[in-house]
C-alpha cells in the first residue's frame, strides 16, 4: 500500500472515530470525551492536508521547481501542529466552563465502550502508518501516525479519568482530565512544528544515514583520490549529498568520469533515494568556497 493510500485510510478512520467519540460525548455529557472528539477532528483535517501535500510532493520537477516538490510534506506536519494548538485552546475553554459549572454524567458505560472502539481503530492504523513512514521516510505520514498515537494516549487518559469520576463521584475530575488532554496534545503539536521547521531549513541527513555514507566513501579514500567538503541535506523523502573529489591532474577526463560514476553508483546503492552531486578537481587544487567561517571548510 502506498503512502497516499494510508492517508486516505486515515481520513476514513478519522471520520469513523469522530462519529464514535461524538456519540460518546452526546450520551454522557463528558467534556473530556468532547475534547477527545475535538482532537479526532484535528486528525481528520491533518490527514486531508497531508494527503494534499503528499500528492504535491510526488509531482516531478518543473521549470519553477527544478529540484522537485519534496519539501511540501513539511508543510503538512507544521499545519497539523498548528491545528493541535487551536484544538487545545478550544478544549481548555470548554473545560474551564465545565469546571466552574459541573454537570452530572450519564450513560458512561456505553460512552466509554464507543471510546475504546475508536481508540483501537486509531492504534491499529497508527502502528501500520508509522512502519510505512519509516520505510518511505515520509514526514507527512509520520506526523499523522504520531498524532494518532497521541490520540490513543489521550483516550486512555480520558478513560482513566472517567473511571475515577464513576468511583469517587467527583465531577470536577472530568474537566481536569480534559485540561490534561489539552496539555498533552500541545506537547505533540510543538514537536511537529519544530520538526517541520527543521526540515524546511535543509537539515542534514540522519546520523545513521551519514554513517552509511561515510562507510561507502571510505574504500575510495584508500585510493589515489581525495574526497572532502562532504555536505548533506534532506527534503521530504529525498536525500542529497555534495562533495569534492580530487584526482591526479594527469588522469584523462574519461578515467576521472568513470571514477566519479563509480562513487555515485556506490552512494545511491547504499542510500536509496539519494542524489549525489560530485565536483571533480585536481589533487593540487582547492575549491574556493565563500564563507570561511563555515565549520565544514
Say if residue 140 is exposed, middle or buried (CB neighbours under 10 Å; 0-12, 13-18, 19+).
Answer: buried
Which among 172, 15, 33, 18 has a CA at the least distance from the CA of 101?
A: 172
The two counts, helices (H) then strands (E), for the chain are: 8, 3
Beta carbons within 10 angstroms of residue 38's beta carbon: 23
Give the strand pairing for 238-247 and 226-235.
antiparallel
Beta carbons within 10 angstroms of residue 136's beta carbon: 18
DSSP structure class, residue 18: H
**d(C-alpha 91, C-alpha 82), whole Å:** 14
Instruction: Return the beta strands (E) in the chain as ranges.
Output: 226-235, 238-247, 274-282
Cα angle 102, 104, 110; round to 5: 135
First to last CA, the chain: 44
- The full set of domains in the chain, from first to last, is 3-200 (1.20.1510.10), 207-282 (3.30.70.1350)
Q: Helix (H, G, I), strand (E, B), or coil: what is residue 230?
A: strand
The answer to whether 17 and 43 are in contact (CB under 8 A) is: yes
Residues in a beta bridge with 246: 226, 281
- Length, in residues, of the chain: 297
DSSP structure class, residue 61: P
Per residue of the chain (297 residues), what is the pLDDT tens digit? Answer: 576 787 788 788 888 888 888 888 888 887 777 777 877 777 787 778 878 877 887 788 888 887 777 777 777 777 777 877 777 777 777 778 777 777 777 767 787 788 788 888 888 888 888 887 777 767 667 777 777 777 777 777 777 777 777 777 777 777 787 787 777 778 777 877 777 777 677 778 888 888 999 999 988 887 778 888 899 987 766 788 999 999 888 899 899 999 999 999 999 899 887 888 899 999 877 766 555 444 444
Give pLDDT, residue 62.
81
Amino acid at each position: 500500500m502506498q503512502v497516499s493510500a494510508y492517508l486516505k485510510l486515515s481520513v476514513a478512520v478519522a471520520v469513523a472515530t469522530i462519529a464514535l467519540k461524538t456519540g460518546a460525548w452526546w450520551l454522557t455529557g463528558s467534556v473530556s470525551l468532547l475534547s477527545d472528539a475535538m482532537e479526532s477532528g484535528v486528525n481528520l483535517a491533518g490527514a486531508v492536508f497531508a494527503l494534499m501535500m503528499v500528492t504535491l510532493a510526488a509531482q516531478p520537477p518543473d521549470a519553477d521547481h527544478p529540484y522537485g516538490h519534496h519539501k511540501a510534506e513539511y508543510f503538512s506536519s507544521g499545519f497539523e501542529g498548528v491545528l493541535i494548538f487551536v484544538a487545545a485552546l478550544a478544549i481548555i475553554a470548554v473545560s474551564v466552563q465545565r469546571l466552574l459549572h459541573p454537570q452530572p454524567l450519564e450513560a458512561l458505560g456505553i460512552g466509554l465502550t464507543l471510546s475504546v472502539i475508536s481508540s483501537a481503530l486509531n492504534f491499529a492504523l497508527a502502528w501500520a502508518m508509522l512502519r510505512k513512514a519509516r520505510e518511505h521516510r515520509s514526514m507527512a505520514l509520520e506526523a499523522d501516525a504520531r498524532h494518532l498515537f497521541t490520540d490513543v494516549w489521550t483516550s486512555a487518559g480520558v478513560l482513566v479519568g472517567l473511571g475515577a469520576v464513576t468511583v469517587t463521584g467527583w465531577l470536577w475530575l472530568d474537566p481536569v482530565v480534559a485540561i490534561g488532554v489539552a496539555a498533552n496534545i500541545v506537547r505533540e503539536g510543538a514537536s511537529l512544528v519544530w520538526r517541520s521547521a527543521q526540515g524546511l531549513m535543509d537539515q542534514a541527513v540522519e546520523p545513521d544515514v551519514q554513517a552509511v555514507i561515510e562507510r561507502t566513501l571510505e574504500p575510495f579514500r584508500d585510493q589515489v583520490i581525495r574526497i572532502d567538503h562532504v555536505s548533506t541535506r534532506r527534503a521530504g523523502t529525498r536525500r542529497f549529498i555534495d562533495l569534492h573529489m580530487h584526482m591526479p591532474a594527469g588522469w584523462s577526463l574519461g578515467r576521472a568520469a568513470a571514477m566519479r560514476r563509480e562513487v555515485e553508483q556506490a552512494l545511491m546503492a547504499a542510500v536509496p533515494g539519494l542524489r549525489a552531486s560530485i565536483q571533480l578537481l585536481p589533487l593540487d587544487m582547492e575549491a574556493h568556497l565563500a564563507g570561511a567561517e563555515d565549520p565544514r571548510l
